[in-house]
Amino acid sequence: MANTSDIKNGMCLNHNNGLWNIVEFLHVKPGKGAAFVRTKLKNIETGKVVDHTFNAGTKIDPVRIETREYQFLYNDDMGFHFMNCETFEQIPVEKHMINAPEFLKDGLICRIIFHADEEKVISCELPQFIEAEITYTEPGIKGDTATNTLKPATIDTGVEIRVPLFIGTGDFIKVDTKKKEYSERVKK
C-alpha cells in the first residue's frame, strides 16, 4: 500500500471498485487546516474523467500495468484476435476495449495494456496514425483546390471520412485514429 505522497501523473490505482489513471494532481497545503491532494482521475474502462480530493496521508492502492505490442490478426464472434510478436501467443480482445476498432487492418501493430498482477487486458490502443487507401470517392473538379472544402471518401477498412477535394480513388492517406479524420496525403 502507498499513500498520497506517492501519487504521480500516469499512475494507475484501484479506487471505488475500478481502475483509474491519474491525469493530473496537485498537493495543496492551505494556511489553515490539513493538507490534501486534488486529483483528476480517468476511468480506464469507461474513459470517464472525474475530480477527486484525497486527504494527505490517505492510503491508496496502486496497480501495476504493462504495455505490450501485439499484431492484429482477425476478428470473429469471439472478439478481435491479436498475436504477441515475440512469443506468438494469441489473445482475444473485446470490441469495447479497443479505442478505434473500425480502423483495424490485418498486420497492424497495436499497444495492449495489461493489469500486470492478473494478466488481464485493460485496453487496446491503435497507433495515432495509420496509412489507408481510398477505395471510393467522387472525383474532384480541376482547379477547385483553393478552398478547404472536404468531400466524403471510403478507406480500405470500410470507414467513411472527409478528405480534401484533390484526393482521388487509389490514393494513400494518413488517418488520425484519435480524431478519426484525414491527416495528410502519403506518397507511394
Tell me the pLDDT tens digit for each residue of 144-160: 666 678 889 999 999 99
Domain boundary among 84, 108, 125: 125
CATH of residue 96's domain is 2.40.50.140
The rounded mean pLDDT for the chain is: 89
Q: How many CA atoms lie within 13 A of 179 on its CB side?
A: 8
State whether 13 and 48 are in the same domain.
Answer: yes
CATH of residue 57's domain is 2.30.30.30
State whether 181 and 170 are in the same domain.
Answer: yes
The range of the structural domain enclosing residue 7 comes to 2-62
pLDDT tens profile 73-98: 999 988 999 999 899 999 999 888 88
Model-level pTM?
0.76
State whether 78 and 94 are in the same domain.
Answer: yes
Domain count, the chain: 3
State whether 19 and 36 are in the same domain.
Answer: yes
State whether 76 and 113 are in the same domain.
Answer: yes
Domain boundary among 26, 44, 62: 62
Does residue 21 carry a pLDDT above 80?
Answer: yes
State whether 120 and 134 are in the same domain.
Answer: no
State whether 15 and 47 are in the same domain.
Answer: yes
Domain boundary among 125, 152, 174: 125
pLDDT tens profile 113-125: 888 888 888 888 8
Q: How many CA atoms lie within 13 A of 135 on its CB side?
A: 8
Q: What is the mean pLDDT of residues 171-177?
A: 94
